[in-house]
Amino acid sequence: MNSPARKRFDLIAFDWDGTLFDSTRIIVLSIQGAVADLGYAVPSDEAAAHVIGLNLVQALAHAAPDVPRERWPELSERYKHHYGKHIHDVTLFPGTEAMLQALQAAGYKLAVATGKGRAGLNEALDISGMRRYFAATRTADETRGKPDPLMLHELMVELDTPAERTLMIGDTTHDLQLAANAGCPAVGVNFGAHPEAQLRALNPLYIAHSTPDLHRWLLLNA
């Protein structure tokens, strides 16, 4: 693909899980395994997928509402145990590195805004080799979690980019609501955690059906 001609945006912020990293199924299984370990009602695939993108404690609390607050730390540790067993099983969506290379070469500032914790994102960046593409990253345990706009506001300040020149890309309504709360345009991808109908309800500029589709849209519109 040819390098994109910059038109509308200077900063492109990506969600991580379900947007760049194909980890949705592993996260769902890890949530379900953690809840089962504690002996509570295991959430459905749909319920577990819906909370992807939130910070970990918030996500687990929503997915397993019958787990009492005093057991949330234990639930979090069991989730990390299950996810840790599969960290090397998840991969980038096909075409991700080519897209990031092209965007970086064209002069876009790239960032990650994720519901993961810092340790988890650092591990994923190292395993995938993607750290070199991102000028800045924010995780839910070092700022406020989605859809609070603070993490995106912090990225915009750090990278000296106004909201109207910033594009947020994600696979969940949490990502799109984050963008709306921060005053930024957004693009959804429908190959992650949330179904297309839910994404469309938040009026993204576009919904991509694959990473190459997203890459093509950015070439023409970003």
CATH 3.40.50.1000-classified regions of the chain = 11-22+91-221
Spot the catalytic one: 17, 22, 171, 175: 17
Which band of pLDDT confidence, cut at 50, 70 and 90, is reported for residue 12? Answer: very high
Q: What are the residues facing 109 on neighbouring strands?
A: 11
Q: What Cα–Cα distance (Å) separates residue 99 from each residue in 65, 125, 185?
A: 39, 16, 19
Quote the pLDDT of residue 6. Answer: 55
15 is catalytic: yes
Quote the pLDDT of residue 3. Answer: 47
The matching CATH number, chosen from 3.40.640.10, 2.60.120.10, 1.10.150.240, 1.20.140.10, for 24-86 is 1.10.150.240
Tell me which fold the domain 11-22+91-221 belongs to: Rossmann fold (3.40.50)
On the question of pLDDT at 205 being above 60, the answer is: yes
Contact (CB, 8 A) for 23 and 90: yes
148 is catalytic: no
16-63 tens-digit pLDDT:
999 999 888 888 899 999 999 999 999 998 899 888 878 888 888 889
76-93 tens-digit pLDDT:
999 999 988 887 777 899
Spot the catalytic one: 10, 15, 22, 171: 15
